[in-house]
Amino acid sequence: MSTLQKLFDNSHKAIKDRTYEISESIQKSSIDLIQSIQENKHASLITEVKFSSPSLGKIRQKSDPVQIAQAMVDGGAKALSVLTQPYLFEGSPQYFMNIRKQVKIPMLMKDIIVDKVQIDAARKIGADYMLLIQSLFDQNFLKDIDEFIDYGHKNGLKVLIEAHTKSEFANSLNTEADLVGINNRNLDTLKIDINTTKTLLENNPQSRIIVSESGIESPQDIKFLKQCGAGAFLIGSSIMKSENIKESVRSLVNAI
């Protein structure tokens, strides 16, 4: 079974297990992420709170997600990505809500969205952004990406759409997504190559901010990806593995 199929099935399992039934309603951030990226003279980081992943297994001992998020904010992150997918990622909407109540910066609900029920949950937990994965639509797991984006926008959410191949990237640029991400990880093989960002951005005039995702570990990586045309950087594992999260974030922010 492909990783994509596994991720797709996990989301349906989480829906069945009532993971996304949220009774609260929390305010989202009042900060405009796109504007703060445009005005930032340093590297704009979207840092990710996640304890496990399909490719690495356990990344960090489970500890207080709020403390981790606060360290990321103190280090200079412009936004937080928080996993809400319970299977393979050990995430939860509850973690997201606990963090949302304590931080002011924009937050992305990081999940494999396969149903509008998850978008309803994103609104309730105070997400500013939701993630859509282009390959789920291109490989016919899901039907109409424009419908999902439109539903997100109607619910006050902005959309980060992620692509990995040239055709996915071209398709994602044809949508109304607010940010376009390039995932340097192949979701079928889980292999990472940060040259993916370079390849996809060659001869591509940027009409939107491009977020480079996965495999970013050092200030050199940030400098390289910035030269390729990336405007922001989504970084999870390398920061979550770090002993000093605040300093790790700070050194990456100051790469530019």
Catalytic residue ranges: 48, 50, 110, 162, 183, 213-214
Of 151, 9, 179, the residue nearest 79 (C-alpha): 179
Instruction: List CB contacts of 244: < 8 A, sequence separation 6 or more.
Output: none
Q: Whole-angstrom Cα distance, residue 68 to residue 99?
A: 9
Left if phi > 0, otherwise alpha if psi is -120 to 50, otherwise beta: which for 161?
beta
Q: What sign results for the dihedral spanned by CA atoms 106, 219, 134, 186?
A: negative
Task: State the DSSP H helix or E strand holding residue 207, giving kind and residue range, or none if neither.
Answer: none
DSSP 209: P
Burial 193-215 (b: 16+ CB within 10 A, else e): ebebbbebbeeeeeeebbbbbbb
